[in-house]
Amino acid sequence: MKKVSRFFEFAYLAVMVLFLYQAYAEWGQEGGRSILYLCFAGVAIFMYFFKRSFRKRFEANNKDR
């Protein structure tokens, strides 16, 4: 369970890098979606920290049992 959870944590970071690259590549183009990609990158980094804190809290609760 821990390995799968860690995999998805780092998958969110990979998705964030992908969206940041797309935003950079389309920056300045007419009708580009760079702002949308930046928002998605922000959501991905939020999900990384959320999942990480949730996993650590879950591990701490299971350690006590």
Q: Please report, in tens digits, the pLDDT of each residue of the chain (65 residues total).
A: 678 888 999 999 999 999 999 999 999 888 889 999 999 999 999 999 999 999 899 888 887 76
52: which DSSP letter?
H
| DSSP 3-state of 65 | coil
Degrees, nearest 5: CA angle 28-47-16:
30
pTM: 0.83
pLDDT of residue 1: 65
pLDDT of residue 42: 97
